[in-house]
Structure 1
Amino acid sequence: MSRRTASLALLALSIGGFGIGLTEFVIAGLLTEVADDLGVSISVAGHLVGGYALAVVPGALVLTPLLMKRPPKQALLVLLAFFIAGSLLSAWSPNYEIMFAGRVFAALAHGGYFGIGAVLAASLVPRQRQASAVAALFAGLTIANVLGVPAGSLIGQQFGWRTVFWVISVVGVVAFAGLVALVPRTEPEKDQLPVGQQFRALARPQVLASLLTTALVFGGMFGVFTYIEPLLREVSGFSAATVPWLLVLFGAGLFLGNIVGGKAADRNADNAVLILSLLLPVVLLVLGAVAAMPVATGIMLFLLGLVGFATVPGLQARVMRHAHGAATLASATNIAAFNLGNTVGVSIAGAAIAAGFGLRSPTLTGAALTVVGLILIFIARAAALRRVEA
């Protein structure tokens, strides 16, 4: 396959990732408008965020096994159909219950799309560029944070929150057409184990360590990010008007980190994950320490995005490599681990604030979670090296 063909295919995959990332994150900036329009409280509207994250898990663990025997392109088109249907349902929804159903439909596509898409992206390029190809898929997700979420919030404020979901539906249709036109048809993995054995493969020590590390690292990171707005305003002293620009700065870190992490993982995925997992708790602790200094806080916010998301290509490549015979299912399960970890991390950070430990406390709980992830990946890497030497 030519490099140009592979690049166009990765672009099409990334557009789908952009749409899915936008659907997941943009709702947080529209909660007040959604709650008012659907006649529910802010806390109830917040379940549209948590419900999406939880629905990613059955989507990854149920839909992916049903689709992974199909050609990857065909499987991704089915998943995008779920995403488009969910986005349309959300845009049209006359009440909260239908809106929630639309969120669940869209979320069912999330794990499988990134899981199957990561395996497909890796298959389009030479082995030494596979982590960068996975990073290209996730580039859409990072762009959704950098540009899509602020733009979505602006569109929602000017034209209503439903307009945002109509736009997301159009993005889904464009991604669908891009996959049809630009992504080559490839065959499913030839060495796939039977489904039951694939689920057992998830319990392999190296695979399980990667999945748990993913959950812990991103639980720590997003536990901090979820409560970053009150930290920036009440501790750092930034105005409300400045916060969106600081979030763009964080998103720029995500985007750059995705690229850097892909290149580092191409060289050595295990080393990349280990080094980045060591740096992340340091960044979190420094962020908490300098939170009262506006300039330093802005720098650390950028580094949080950069270091945090730089772990993604390495973790995704690592779980795929160790789950031979079950790479697609493991890849999708790793995406579910991201979302489960986020839910746990946010809950722990929120509990720390509610217990009276202050708005800096999520940086401590986040650092603690990432340190546990670091210990796990260090033990797993040492065990793998001992087996090689033996």
Structure 2
Amino acid sequence: MRSFFMPFAIYVLGLAVFAQGTSEFMLSGLVPDVADDLHISIPAAGWLTSAYAVGMVLGAPLVAMLSIRWPRRRALLIFLLTFLLAHVLGAMTSSFEVLLGTRIVAALANAGFLAVGLAAASAMVGSQAKGRATSVLLSGVTLACIAGVPLGAVLSEFWGWRSAFWAVAIVSVPAVIAILCAVPASAVDPNAPTARHELRALRTPRLAVTLLLGALVNGATFCTFTYLAPLVTDVAALSTNWVPVALALFGIGSFVGVTIGGRFADTKPLQLLTIGAIALLGGWLLFALTAANPITALALVFVQGTLSFAVGSTLIAQALYAATDAPTLAGGFATAAFNVGAAVGPVLGGIAIDAGLGYRSPLLVSAALVALALVSYSVARNAAHRSNHSRGRSPESF
């Protein structure tokens, strides 16, 4: 029987990811205060969010490649300390340009930490529990949505936006100490794969398809999540007081989703991906049809958050399984792919809204993205099944 608990060090990494997830998403509630304090326009302040997203997309593979020959504990500490110091500087500066720079640096450090953290967590649990380890790390992101981001907004309300930056830095301190104490120290293995070797190992159709699916599913998730507030107020006709409730329901659902992913991603990934993606598609379509009903809308916010993160976390685990000879770069490219989805999804939803299709339209765009993922998955699975059958291998190795 498998142990329910992961090594303590993996929960430590989850704490750090919680701080980083809070930082990534908290700016959405701080933009007006930042703009007012630094005497800039709100659109200009919005660049702080865009800069972080670009840093995550570009930084994940590049920074992972840079650190590939570093001992993992050293790499984790360097990235987390850089992330912490970027927030200290951001909290102290009165220059928008400096603040923008700290967001890019923090994003690069976040991307590197997540890539190395995924590889380190997988190594600590062995070859058959990557999904469970991944779910613990990603639960840090979901808990950030549930607790970290709202807490940042509350701190900003009482003590200004800088207090939210200080809070992220403070939460990172115990994670630094715990990594020193809990993550095993290791010397550089002279036989460890080089960046060139890992890049060659990434050239597999299975990994390419997995990353594509991850980008599509996450694009669908953030396409709707970004416009959840007008969906709740304009379509479901609820007051603005219900927006935090909807966000909390989505966050709780995402936590349940990564927990489900951790339970089944190692043992029944194909079943979870197939059933989960079909249910996800049906959920987006049902949401679009019934969004005017407040009770149904709130229920589906929770359901879709659960399904999105169950499927998404399983895809990240599958990326690690697909590139066992490139654990660090696989985590980096998985991080980049999911952030591409997080960046492109809201753009597509915004295009639909600007075209006059209303605030239900992001739900239909989300459905279309999941449908495209299902088609891609079906084609790739059939091809993999035929290839594995001809070689006498198990069809479960998609």
TM-score by length of 2: 0.93
Deviation at 1:139, TM superposition (A): 1.1
Q: Note the alpha carbon deviations across 1:276-322, whole angstroms, 9 max, x for none.
A: 22222221111111110000001000011100011233111211111
Structure 1 SS opposite 2:240: coil
One-letter code of the match for 2:269? A
Distance 1:340 1:287 in 2: 24
Greater alpha carbon shift after TM alignment, 320-329 vs 356-365: 320-329
One-letter code of the match for 1:264? F
One-letter code of the match for 1:307? L
Deviation at 1:41, TM superposition (A): 1.4
CA contact (8 A) 2:130 2:320 kept: no
Distance change >3 Å, CA 198–CA 125, structure 1 → 2:
closer
One-letter code of the match for 1:162? R
Distance change >3 Å, CA 106–CA 239, structure 1 → 2:
same
Distance 1:181 1:5 in 2: 18
Indicate the residue corresponding to 1:118 in structure 2. 118
Distance 2:44 2:234 in 1: 25
CA contact (8 A) 1:223 1:348 kept: yes
Q: Unmatched 5+ residue regions in structure 2?
A: 391-398
Deviation at 1:115, TM superposition (A): 1.8
Greater alpha carbon shift after TM alignment, 268-277 vs 146-155: 268-277
Deviation at 1:198, TM superposition (A): 2.6
One-letter code of the match for 2:225? F
Structure 2 SS opposite 1:266: coil
Indicate the residue corresponding to 1:311 in structure 2. 311
Deviation at 1:382, TM superposition (A): 2.0
Deviation at 1:72, TM superposition (A): 1.5
Q: Note the alpha carbon deviations across 1:48-92, whole angstroms, 9 max, x for none.
A: 111101111232122111112222111111111221122112211
1:347-386 map, 5 Å? 347-386=347-386
CA contact (8 A) 1:88 1:102 kept: no
Q: Note the alpha carbon deviations across 1:232-280, whole angstroms, 9 max, x for none.
A: 0111111112211221111000111110011111212233223222222
CA contact (8 A) 2:68 2:195 kept: no
Distance 1:269 1:329 in 2: 22
CA contact (8 A) 1:223 1:366 kept: yes
CA contact (8 A) 2:83 2:106 kept: yes
Deviation at 1:148, TM superposition (A): 0.8
Indicate the residue corresponding to 2:129 in structure 1. 129
Deviation at 1:193, TM superposition (A): 4.1
Distance 2:324 2:3 in 1: 26
Greater alpha carbon shift after TM alignment, 72-81 vs 248-257: 72-81
Greater alpha carbon shift after TM alignment, 203-212 vs 374-383: 374-383
Distance 1:223 1:332 in 2: 23
Distance 2:283 2:187 in 1: 42
Distance 2:236 2:362 in 1: 15
Distance change >3 Å, CA 12–CA 57, structure 1 → 2:
same
Distance 2:170 2:205 in 1: 42
Indicate the residue corresponding to 1:39 in structure 2. 39
Distance 2:383 2:69 in 1: 32
Distance 1:323 1:380 in 2: 16
Structure 2 SS opposite 1:144: helix
CA contact (8 A) 1:191 1:325 kept: no
Distance change >3 Å, CA 316–CA 150, structure 1 → 2:
same
Deviation at 1:189, TM superposition (A): 7.8
One-letter code of the match for 2:202? L
Indicate the residue corresponding to 1:219 in structure 2. 219
Structure 1 SS opposite 2:49: helix
CA contact (8 A) 1:5 1:182 kept: no
Structure 1 SS opposite 2:268: helix
Distance 1:197 1:169 in 2: 36
Distance change >3 Å, CA 252–CA 137, structure 1 → 2:
same
One-letter code of the match for 2:41? S
Distance 1:335 1:61 in 2: 8
Deviation at 1:169, TM superposition (A): 0.6
Q: Note the alpha carbon deviations across 1:26-55, whole angstroms, 9 max, x for none.
A: 110111111111111111111111110111
Distance 1:205 1:240 in 2: 46
One-letter code of the match for 1:230? P
Indicate the residue corresponding to 2:396 in structure 1. none
After superposition, the CA RMSD in angstroms is 1.9
Structure 2 SS opposite 1:356: helix
Indicate the residue corresponding to 2:393 in structure 1. none
Greater alpha carbon shift after TM alignment, 74-83 vs 292-301: 74-83
CA contact (8 A) 1:55 1:108 kept: yes
Percent of residue pairs identical: 35
CA contact (8 A) 2:38 2:95 kept: yes
Distance 1:372 1:245 in 2: 30
CA contact (8 A) 2:69 2:194 kept: no
Deviation at 1:155, TM superposition (A): 0.9
1:275-290 map, 5 Å? 275-290=275-290
Distance 1:106 1:288 in 2: 36
Indicate the residue corresponding to 2:334 in structure 1. 334
Q: Note the alpha carbon deviations across 1:305-342, whole angstroms, 9 max, x for none.
A: 10001123311121111113212101111111111111
1:164-179 map, 5 Å? 164-179=164-179
Are 1:57 and 2:57 matched, yes or no?
Answer: yes
CA contact (8 A) 1:284 1:364 kept: yes
